[in-house]
Copies of this chain bind each other. A is one copy, B any other.
Amino acid sequence: MSAAARLSRLRTYDLRFPTSRELDGSDAMNVDPDYSAAYVIISADDGGPEGHGFAFTIGRGNDVLISGIQAYQELVIGLSVEETLADMGGLWRRLVHDSQLRWLGPEKGVIHMAAGAIVNALWDMKAKRAGKPLWRLLAELSPQEIVDLVDFRYLTDVLTPRAALELLEERFEGRERRVGTLLQEGYPAYTTGPGWLGYDDEKLVAKCHEAVSAGFELIKLKVGADLEDDRRRLRLAREAVGEHIALAVDANQRWDVAEAVAWIEALAPFDPHWIEEPTSPDDVLGHAAIRARVSPVAIATGEHAANRVVFKQLLQQEAIDYLQLDATRVAGINENIAILLLAARFDVPVCPHAGGVGLCEQVQHLSMFDYIAVSGAREGRVIEYVDHLHEHFVDPVEIVRGAYKAPSVPGGSAQLREDCFPRFAFPDGSAWSQAHAEPTLTK
């Protein structure tokens, strides 16, 4: 690229998939999601590869996130492409700590997710320009380069830059071997496909059988709306999958502390692999109290944890057994690297949240990078998988025998196919304006 090249254009798209028509994705809190992307494409004036990124939402309010992304436009347009892509840590600080925009968080909710969409779009641009899939680009960074991506503000009481550097240097040896293993075996996945709360028993059982046939060793069910329903569905699922397949359950923030403890105790006989989001994602102390009282049942959370400071506390307080980061909840790749480092520091396995639209595509890069350069391990770790909306991506995930195959296409895999834009633009795309003529758009 030319040294004078500038980031010259930022385009946003409010894209929504009418998933609520089939109750795919329904759970105790999210009863009618229309999976959506507040989508951004960033271009440079040198005609080189563009960057694609987005934040995931579930319908109403996707336009608010679009407005958030646009608020960063003036901070991004005109920046040197070369300097920006060479200092992604500096870019992150510039966006997240903007002296006026930070008031809208700070570092949480719409404005933080919007920063993440932009950060991820620029990582996509960087990986495409390097001709590498994002996981490989990240995995080839030196320990010091990785440390430079992270903002350690508010983390130094548990993790200093020096301690992070030492951790990364310790795991430097063996990277090549792990790349080889990853290319050969992929990264383990689990599936949430069978367990949506809107599915009837027959569909639940059929999908459990499918999941086992496809090679998954962990299946997740949504719970929390009605205890007797939960027990019946867990019994049916257990009968369908046999003894050797693990079953996790997800309450999607449904309970208060005492209610969580009672409900989990009632589900404990079904040997859940973990209980996910038992209560408010902000309630670090609540999670810790629940975990202490239901031990040895494992607690998982993270898809709604607002930022690295919340994750820091979940780890400090020994509130979780599994950390479930999300690709588009926090401010993008840089903050997720901070979260991977925190998890490694506390030796807690990271099992990312995915599903939605494009979350599988994005989050796989983080887990693969984690395996190669940060935790150095895959044991006890799985990436969520839902067989849903992948057909719309230029580089969709590939699942082989229950494992994510490492992407080989340059970029971060967030790019949607051209035909999505006229179909799923909200409210004028054909999927919305011709809703009655075209009742079932999702598989």
The stretch from A107-115, A177-185, A211-219, A221-229 touching chain B is A107-115
**A139 CB → nearest B CB, Å:** 29
Enumerate chain B residues within 8 angstroms of A60, measured Cβ to Cβ.
71, 74, 98, 100-101
The stretch from A85-93, A232-240, A281-289 touching chain B is A281-289
**Interface contact A156-B256, CB-CB below 8 Å:** yes
**Interface contact B109-A110, CB-CB below 8 Å:** yes
A100 to B284 Cα, complex, angstroms:
24
**Residue of A33, A98, A110 contacting most chain B CB atoms (<10 Å):** A110
**Interface contact B307-A282, CB-CB below 8 Å:** yes
| CB-contact partner of A257 in B157, B280, B282, B289, under 8 A | B157
**Interface contact B106-A281, CB-CB below 8 Å:** yes
Q: A residues 24-67 with Cβ under 8 Å of B?
A: 29-34, 57-61, 63-67
Tell whether A101 pairs with B256 under 8 Å between CB atoms, given A109-B109, A280-B154, A285-B284.
Answer: no
**Interface contact B256-A154, CB-CB below 8 Å:** yes
A57 to B59 Cα, complex, angstroms:
25
| CB-contact partner of A309 in B65, B67, B282, under 8 A | B282
Does A310 reach chain B (CB closer than 8 Å)? Answer: yes
**Interface contact B309-A280, CB-CB below 8 Å:** yes
Chain B's closest residue to A257 (CB) is B157
**Interface contact A110-B111, CB-CB below 8 Å:** yes
**Interface contact A154-B108, CB-CB below 8 Å:** no
**Interface contact B64-A286, CB-CB below 8 Å:** no
**Interface contact A157-B105, CB-CB below 8 Å:** no
**Interface contact A104-B109, CB-CB below 8 Å:** yes
Does A192 reach chain B (CB closer than 8 Å)? Answer: no
Chain B's closest residue to A154 (CB) is B280
Does A80 reach chain B (CB closer than 8 Å)? Answer: no
> Which 8 residue pairs are nearest across A and B when measured between Cβ atoms?
A109-B109, A110-B110, A67-B67, A60-B100, A157-B257, A59-B100, A154-B280, A282-B309
Binding site for B on A (CB under 8 A): 29-34, 57-61, 63-68, 71, 74, 98-114, 153-157, 253, 256-259, 279-286, 289, 304, 306-307, 309-310, 312-313, 316-317
What are 10 of the A-B contact pairs (CB < 8 Å)? A57-B100, A58-B100, A59-B100, A61-B68, A61-B111, A106-B253, A106-B304, A107-B280, A109-B109, A306-B306
